[in-house]
Amino acid sequence: MKRSRKIFLLTACFMVLAAAFTLLVLQPSIIPRKTFSAPESSYRGWEEILSSPQPITIQTYSTGVMLTELSGIMNLAHERAAAIEDVVVEAPVNASIIHHQTLGYYLIDAGLDSSYIDHQYGTFRGLFVEKTLGKGSQEPNTNIASVIKRKNIPLRGVWLTHLHPDHIAGIIDLPKHLPYVAGKGERYINFRFFMRSDHLAGIEALYEIDFTGGIDLPPFGRGIDLLGDGSFWAIESSGHSKGHVMYFINGIEERVLVTGDACNDQFQFDTGIGPGSFSSDLEQAQQVLETIITFKERYPEVSLVFGHDRISIQHE
């Protein structure tokens, strides 16, 4: 009887501590999730998609730079990385504006917010910030919200490759009534006292893309026809993060695969060395990179936009 009572008391104490931890630490990171309602695709594979380009374009902008260890973005334990030294590198943080002639303007990723002009950790506060995060910087008026305002763009929604801070910080500067969409199960890191930024504060709900209803798009997994006309696709690419998503723009002038951090830059693509320690699953991340390389070999007409490569497009 005493043993049972002791077990009961220990269990009760554990539950109370867990509840307190959730309320004090995890509560800020809890954002309601809703399933994104995708239209039914009228295309069944790459040949059909590529033979039916649509009036959609993409422009990519650098929203700042992060200083980070190379091993974080590239797996230096890979056999091809034996001669590569782990150094601190400058990683541009990119965001893209897409324009569908009929359906309007959307954003892929949000980059860094304007707080990085003055603060190297942006809006992050907490005990672990300086020990775990890279230092960021940004020139005035280069955050994506400033670009959108300068161009007088009526933004209709934001599509996120994943929820790592350098891809969502810019949401702080954006309107909150827009739909924000990410991959199903994507984790949002925002812990009170330890590492808090509230990048998603003010958003009523985060919409999630469920790929179970998509079509097979080898060499990748499943894809979702986001706008219903074959112009803009989400492609499952879990590896760098649990719910990582790549996006494909099927434009008349240009076909573009936005890789996010499934492939950080041209050097990573050229070497074939997968993402590094910032990834949740190194093996899976390596496989996704290899499918990107295979895809480019099969469809050389498709351009690649990487998550952290230098770009030539200037801020007008």
Q: pLDDT value at position 257?
A: 98
What SS3 class is residue 187?
coil
Q: pLDDT value at position 133?
A: 80
Q: Which tokens hold the place of 207?
A: 């919409």
Q: Are 37 and 208 in contact (CB under 8 A)?
A: no
Q: pLDDT higher for 140 or 131? A: 140
Q: pLDDT higher for 41 or 153? A: 153
CB neighbour list of residue 164: distance below 8 Å, 6 or more residues apart? 189, 241, 261, 278
Predicted confidence (pLDDT) at residue 256 exceeds the cutoff of 60: yes
Q: pLDDT value at position 30?
A: 73
Buried b (16+ CB within 10 A) or exposed e, 281-302: bbebbbbbbebbeebbeeeeeb
Q: pLDDT value at position 18?
A: 40
* Residue 256: other Cβ atoms inside 10 A: 22
Q: pTM of this prediction?
A: 0.89
- Give the mean pLDDT of 64-89: 95
For the chain, percent of residues with pLDDT exceeding 70: 86
- Give the mean pLDDT of 128-149: 88
Q: Which tokens hold the place of 175?
A: 């309107």
Predicted confidence (pLDDT) at residue 253 exceeds the cutoff of 70: yes
Band of residue 134 on the pLDDT scale cut at 50, 70, 90: confident
CB neighbour list of residue 303: distance below 8 Å, 6 or more residues apart? 254, 255, 256, 257
Encoded amino acid at 111, one letter: G
Band of residue 314 on the pLDDT scale cut at 50, 70, 90: very low
Predicted confidence (pLDDT) at residue 276 exceeds the cutoff of 90: yes
Predicted confidence (pLDDT) at residue 45 exceeds the cutoff of 80: yes
Element (H, E) at 130: helix 129-132
Predicted confidence (pLDDT) at residue 16 exceeds the cutoff of 90: no
- Give the mean pLDDT of 282-294: 98
Q: pLDDT value at position 313?
A: 44
The model's pLDDT over 186-200, given as tens digits with 9 standing for 90+, comes to 998 865 546 678 899
Q: Length of the chain in residues, anyone?
A: 316
- Give the mean pLDDT of 201-227: 95
CB neighbour list of residue 205: distance below 8 Å, 6 or more residues apart? 31, 32, 33, 34
- Give the mean pLDDT of 24-28: 42
Predicted confidence (pLDDT) at residue 114 exceeds the cutoff of 50: yes
Q: pLDDT value at position 22?
A: 40
Q: Nearest 5 degrees, angle CA 170-CA 61-CA 305? A: 110
Predicted confidence (pLDDT) at residue 160 exceeds the cutoff of 50: yes
How many Å apart are CA 102 and CA 315, to the nearest integer? 25
Predicted confidence (pLDDT) at residue 246 exceeds the cutoff of 80: yes
